[in-house]
């Protein structure tokens, strides 16, 4: 559908107001909210993710696209909620204790919400206790942890240890991400998955929650 392609294209350009207006037009044209989301907003954001991964664009473009995606999501949200699109599950998200870097984590949050997950974002500098507590209270399916600093990566392992001690090790799956983190490190600390970017995080979490 032409308008959905336009939404995706404007989102890639970071055109916040255009994306909001086009999303509204699509809503007014009675296009299914889920379709606007998947083909318009997420479709556009996936392209942005790929371009960033391939170094074709840089962080400013990604941040502007994320703002545009938010603008579109704001229009869609009431409709998605009213349509009662079933939630894919709850994901607890946070940057680990001692680490204040949240750009990557925020992008993952946007992509997950777009993909139909309910995201509980604990922000940055999140202690292991808070991760586990939030997972327990919300009956979450997944804990997603982010770190940019090598010095804070060990906190990820503490979260997993605490989760196991709380008896939630088998029920709550864990996924990690961030510049210094790797698949090897995930395996080393017993995390269930590692994601290298936002789009990959969505794929991985979908796989963890089937």
Partner 1 sequence: MSELLARLRGGATLLADGAMGTLLIARGLPPGEPPESFNLEHPDLLAEIAHLYREAGADIVHTNTFGGSPLKLAMYGLEDQAAEINRRAVAAARQGAGAQAIVSGSVGPSGCTLQPYGDAEPDALYASFRAQIAALLDAGVDAVTIETMTDLNEASLAIRASRDLSGTLPILATMTFDETPRGFYTIMGTSVADAVSGLGAAGADAVGSNCGNGIAKMVAIAREMREIAEQPLIIQSNAGLPEIEGERTVYRETPDLMAAQAQELLELGVSIIGGCCGTTPDHIRALRRIIDTMAR
What is the C-alpha to C-alpha distance for residues 90 and 85, in angstroms, rounded to an integer? 14
Distance CA 16, CA 10 (A): 8
- Looking only at the bridges linking them, the beta strands covering 90-95 and 118-121 are parallel
Instruction: Give the separation between CA 33 and CA 37, rounded to whole angstroms.
Output: 6
- Give the CA distances from residue 16 to residues 70, 78, 169, 176, in Å, rounded to whole numbers and listed in that order: 8, 19, 41, 30
Pair of tokens at residue 204: 């991985």
* Non-local CB neighbours of 167 within 8 Å, separated by 6+ positions: none
Give the residue carrying structure tokens 């664009």. 57
What is the C-alpha separation between 106 and 150, in angstroms, rounded?
19
CB 95 within 8 A of CB 102: yes
Shortest distance, position 166 Cβ to partner 1, whole Å: 21
Contact residues toward partner 1 (CB under 8 A) are 14, 54-55, 57-61, 63-64, 67, 97-100, 103, 125, 149-155, 157, 180, 185, 188
């Amino acid at each position: 559908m032409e308008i959905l392609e336009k939404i995706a294209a404007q989102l890639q350009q970071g055109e916040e107001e255009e994306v909001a207006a086009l999303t509204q037009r699509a809503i007014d044209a009675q296009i299914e909210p889920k379709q606007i989301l998947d083909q318009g907003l997420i479709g556009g954001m996936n392209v942005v993710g790929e371009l960033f991964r391939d170094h074709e664009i840089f962080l400013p473009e990604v941040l502007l696209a994320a703002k545009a995606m938010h603008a579109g999501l704001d229009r869609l949200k009431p409709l998605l909620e009213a349509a009662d699109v079933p939630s894919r599950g709850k994901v607890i998200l946070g940057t680990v204790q001692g680490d204040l870097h949240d750009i990557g984590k925020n992008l993952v949050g946007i992509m997950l919400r777009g993909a139909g997950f309910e995201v509980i974002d604990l922000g940055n500098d999140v202690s292991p206790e808070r991760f586990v507590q939030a997972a327990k209270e919300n009956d979450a399916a997944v804990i997603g942890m982010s770190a940019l600093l090598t010095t804070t990566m060990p906190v990820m392992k503490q979260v997993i240890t605490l989760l196991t001690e709380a008896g939630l090790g088998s029920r709550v799956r864990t996924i990690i991400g961030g510049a210094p983190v790797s698949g090897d490190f995930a395996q080393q600390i017993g995390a269930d998955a590692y994601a290298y970017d936002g789009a990959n995080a969505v794929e991985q979490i979908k796989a963890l929650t089937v």
